Amino acid sequence: MKNLSRLLFAMLLMLSYSSINAQDENNPWAINVGVNAVDFYPTGEDAPLGDFFDEYFNARDHWNILPSLSSVTVSRYFSNGFSFGVTGSMNKIEKFGDSDVKNLSYYGADGTVSYSFMELINSNVVEPYLGVGGGYTWVDKIGAGTLNGAIGLNLWFTENIGFSFQSTYKHAFEDYLSSHFQHYAGLKFKFGGKDTDSDGIYDIDDACPEVPGLAEFNGCPDSDGDGIEDSKDDCPNEAGLAEFNGCPDTDGDGLADPNDDCPTVAGSKELNGCPDADGDGIADKDDKCPNEAGPAANNGCPWPDRDGDGVADKDDLCPDIVGTVANDGCPEVTEAVKKALNAYAKTILFDTGKASIKDQSAGVLDNIIGILNEYPNAKFNIEGHTDSVGSEALNQKLSQERASSVMNYLISNGVASNRLNAHGYGESRPLDSNKTAAGRANNRRVEINLHKD
């Protein structure tokens, strides 16, 4: 028992440094098939601990080997690196320590909890492990329970296939069965991992276990094959570029197709990828006149200017008459026109002492109307004046009535009323002397002057 306590202490110390078994959630099951060797040297519980290993490797003199398949182990991974295995073995005993015996049968049934150092040494090939457990061993007709301690090594050729070596010390609980070593060597196969989508990546490592995918994307798909997994691909069904999160830029204008209002025609970023042929800031697709610059308010077309005076019809108060920008598209009244108006106005004749216009002045008035119609946005003041004959009040009244009479005539013949004002000044603004007949005739007049706002 003294030796047993030392062995158990050593195994527990080593287990405290272990990490994870090569069996895991991906490959929870394993089966090991191979051969075993039984070594009954030295025998007896009073042998010093060192004596157990004096001839540990003396296979020729002490090992009993059955040259055929003689051991099978089935194990199952649970969690946190622990695996539990059940081993069945058989052998033929012809060497019992230093003694020879005749063909004693050997059968063992053992259960072992094992723990691996594979992750600790950061290897995917070499897997050292320790194990502890118990079982029952029969030698010929003698059988007894055993407490087992094991040390082993797996060498993995692939993820699922490896070569296994294990040495187990079996301490018998009964004196009639000697404690001994049993060594194993064989092939080990891992299996049982779940792969729901059959993409070769176990569910435990598959970020998309329900959808077949690629190993480089942890089992997630890349449907369009552009090297960007679907979950990070804004256009998973169209091959695209990484700079556009997997979306294409068909027209090569630097905008991904989903953000490009004109994905097949190169355009500017300011217009969401659409072209602007006339450079008026309106995308061709929205421009009613794509080849002629115009304002957005007119759908990209220039405003019409019927009279060609540089003032758009919408702003032109005289859209059919050439004018100036300063006068809102209407012609400006020149000094010559002003003189012509007053020259005509002064020839308007009235009945003596009255405001009624004589018939012979119709031609003069028509000439005045013609001039006013040439300046449709201009406003005019019609001013009435008299000589000093008669009372001032009567002259004031008469001048006002004559100015109004001319204004009413013009209005009745098509001149807009909002363009005209009438005012009488009586005898207050003479042009000549009232002491002579000629002077008084000059002072009796009507003037038409441009109204200034």
Tokens of 216: 């480089």
pLDDT score for 140: 92
Domain boundaries, the chain: 2-191, 335-450
Residue 2 backbone phi and psi in degrees, to 5: -60, -45
| pLDDT value, residue 258 | 94
Considering the domain 2-191 in this protein, what is its CATH number? 2.40.160.20
Q: Do domains 2-191 and 335-450 have the same CATH topology?
A: no
Compute the 3-state secondary structure of the chain and give helix, strand, coil in percent, each to the nearest 5.
25, 30, 50
- Is 87 in contact with 71 (CB distance < 8 Å)? yes
Which residues lie closer than 8 Å to 437 by C-beta, 6 or more apart? none
Percent of the chain topping pLDDT 90: 65
Q: How far apart are CA 330 and CA 415, in angstroms?
A: 16
Q: Where are the alpha helices (DSSP H) in 134-234?
A: none
Query: What are the residues whose beta carbons fall under 8 Å from the beta carbon of 103, sequence distance 6 or more?
Result: 92, 93, 94
C-beta of residue 175 within 8 angstroms of C-beta of residue 31: no
What is residue 226's predicted lDDT score, i.e. its pLDDT?
92
Q: Is the dihedral of CA 10, 53, 144, 70 positive or negative?
A: positive
- Closest listed residue to residue 112, CA positions, set 152, 57, 155: 152
DSSP lists the bridge partners of residue 95 as: 100
- Output DSSP code: residue 261: S
Angle at 402 between CA 397 and CA 408, to 5 degrees: 125
Cα radius of gyration (the chain): 59
Dig out the tokens for 130 from the structure. Answer: 């320790």
Tell the residue number behind the tokens 């920008």, with chain if given: 325
User: Which stretches of the chain drop beneath a pLDDT of 50?
Assistant: 1-22, 44, 46-50
pLDDT value of residue 4: 36
Q: Are 172 and 137 in contact (CB under 8 A)?
A: yes
What does the alpha-carbon distance between residue 314 and residue 156 come to, in Å, rounded to a whole number? 88
- At 3 the pLDDT is 34
Quote the pTM value.
0.47
Fold of 335-450: 60s Ribosomal Protein L30; Chain: A; (3.30.1330)
Contact 58, 108 (CB under 8 A): no
Element holding 409 (H helix, E strand): helix 392-412
**Pick from 117, 147, 120, 145: nearest CA to 132:** 147
